[in-house]
């Protein structure tokens, strides 16, 4: 099966589409973060909504890498305003927060632990039909949350997913003017997440020809354009912006694997894209050493990039990390703190739902080894 719920509008200036889309709505709530206000995109979005004749309210303080506490903090404000359209204007963090708020606004009887994938061996409660319309306008080029059915939130420093088609946005507006203002580090971290999404989605057990097409195009774009985009090249930023959504469509269908399971459980250490970039080469090496299928799939990606085989792909991934300045894990966290949480992280990663899609089923002990290798930079 291949599906996509979200309608996609792309192109420079496409933020203006809000004029049309907000029409017919009474109360529109824009959820965003500081940078969007600073760079004037919030003002612009508010103007379009007002031109459409709707009442608009904006909440601007949404944090990066959100924890479940953000729901308690912002849900009362959402309820008080009573919107019939939610607009998430920002990075993956803003979009994920808005998706979670939509769930508990539309279905107040639910709670996070009840519906999140806390453990792959137990099934969460189904989410009922949700009514409030959701438009996502990504300002980073990475998470793919503007098309995905997932919202990722931290609890005690560890990330868990809510996954349901009900929170996949109804519309995604990809205006390449927005990611132009990303600082280099945000562009790099989110851009490398696109690569991880592409490579993981291409190698899961449920990938198909349709998700492959999206994954491959995204992977090729990262290798061709990420570094130029980090220099601020406009065309490259635009290409990366669309590639991010393509990778999102790939993993919406093919899901993700061990690398995301590991980064979710290490979320207390640093930003999502950066952790993924650090873990990816270790996970690829592990998958390739254990599975003919993984090697075959990595070989296919390699050939698309005019490389010989999976070994050359692995080198290319490592070199891209180096050239873009991805630090070693040991630069992000001191050894004592890391070691104290290591066993818990490995155990929790083993219980992450994404493990079921990875080409290899790792043992908790093997995940522990991978964390350690990444820490030691081996």
Minimum gap (Å) between residue 248 Cβ and Fe ion: 9
Closest to ligand NAP by CB, 179 or 353: 179
Neighbours of 16 (CB within 10 A): 17
**Cα dist from 204 to 215, 250, 252, 256, whole Å:** 11, 11, 12, 7
Residues 6 or more apart whose Cβ sits within 8 Å of residue 179: 138, 139, 140, 141, 187, 237, 240, 241
Closest to ligand NAP by CB, 6 or 132: 6
3-state secondary structure of 158: strand
Closest to ligand NAP by CB, 168 or 346: 168
The closest residue (CB) to ligand NAP is: 91
What does 6 bind: ligand NAP, Fe ion, none (CB cut-off 5 to 8 Å by kind)?
none
Residues 6 or more apart whose Cβ sits within 8 Å of residue 174: 8, 9, 10, 11, 14, 138, 146, 241, 242, 245
Where does this chain bind ligand NAP (CB under 6 A)? 33-35, 39, 64-65, 90-94, 96, 139-140, 142-145, 148, 150-152, 159, 178-179, 181-183, 186, 189-190, 193, 272-273
What does 150 bind: Fe ion, ligand NAP, none (CB cut-off 5 to 8 Å by kind)?
ligand NAP
Cα three-residue angle 106-107-112, rounded to 5 degrees: 115
Minimum gap (Å) between residue 99 Cβ and ligand NAP: 7
| Chain CA centroid to CA 266, Å | 15
Closest to ligand NAP by CB, 5 or 39: 39
Q: Which of 367, 346, 343, 352 is nearest to 160 (CA)?
A: 352
Q: Site for Fe ion (CB under 5 A): which residue of 65, 146, 166, 193?
A: 193
CB 314 within 8 A of CB 284: yes
What phi, psi does 205 have (nearest 5°)? Answer: -75, -15
Minimum gap (Å) between residue 184 Cβ and ligand NAP: 11
What does 142 bind: Fe ion, ligand NAP, none (CB cut-off 5 to 8 Å by kind)?
ligand NAP
Closest to Fe ion by CB, 83 or 191: 191
Sequence-ordered alpha helix ranges (H) in 66-108: 69-81, 92-106
Closest to ligand NAP by CB, 294 or 354: 354
The closest residue (CB) to Fe ion is: 193
Q: Which residues bind Fe ion (CB under 5 A)?
A: 193
């Amino acid at each position: 099966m291949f599906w996509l719920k979200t309608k996609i509008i792309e192109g420079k200036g496409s933020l203006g589409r809000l004029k049309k889309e907000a029409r017919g709505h009474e109360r529109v709530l824009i959820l965003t973060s500081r940078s969007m206000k600073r760079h004037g995109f919030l003002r612009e979005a508010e103007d379009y909504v007002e031109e459409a004749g709707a009442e608009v309210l904006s909440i601007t303080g949404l944090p990066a890498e959100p924890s479940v506490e953000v729901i308690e903090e912002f849900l009362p404000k959402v309820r008080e305003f009573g919107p019939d359209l939610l607009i998430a204007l920002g990075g993956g963090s803003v979009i994920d927060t808005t998706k979670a708020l939509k769930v508990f606004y539309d279905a107040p009887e639910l709670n996070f632990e009840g519906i999140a994938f806390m453990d792959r061996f137990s099934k969460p409660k189904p989410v009922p039909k949700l009514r409030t319309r959701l438009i996502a306008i990504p300002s980073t080029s990475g998470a793919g949350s503007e098309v995905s059915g997932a919202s990722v939130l931290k609890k005690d420093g560890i990330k868990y997913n809510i996954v349901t088609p009900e929170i996949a946005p109804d519309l995604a507006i990809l205006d390449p003017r927005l990611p132009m203002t990303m600082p280099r580090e945000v562009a790099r971290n989110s851009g490398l997440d696109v690569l991880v999404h592409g490579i993981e989605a291409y190698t899961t057990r449920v990938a198909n020809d349709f998700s492959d097409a999206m994954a491959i195009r995204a992977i090729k774009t990262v290798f061709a354009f990420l570094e130029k985009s980090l220099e601020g090249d406009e065309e490259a930023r635009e290409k990366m912006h669309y590639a991010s959504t393509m990778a999102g469509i790939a993993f919406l269908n093919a899901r993700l694997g061990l690398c995301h399971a590991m980064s979710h459980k290490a979320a207390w250490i640093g930003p999502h894209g950066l952790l993924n970039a650090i873990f990816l080469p270790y996970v690829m090496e592990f998958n390739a050493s254990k599975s003919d299928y993984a090697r075959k799939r990595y070989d296919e990606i390699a050939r698309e990039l005019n490389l010989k085989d999976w070994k050359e792909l692995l080198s290319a991934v490592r070199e891209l990390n180096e050239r873009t300045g991805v630090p070693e894990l040991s630069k992000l966290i001191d050894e004592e703190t890391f070691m104290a949480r290591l066993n818990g992280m490995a155990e929790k990663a083993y219980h992450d739902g994404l493990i079921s899609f990875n080409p290899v089923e790792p043992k908790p002990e093997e995940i522990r080894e991978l964390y350690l290798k990444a820490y030691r930079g081996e």
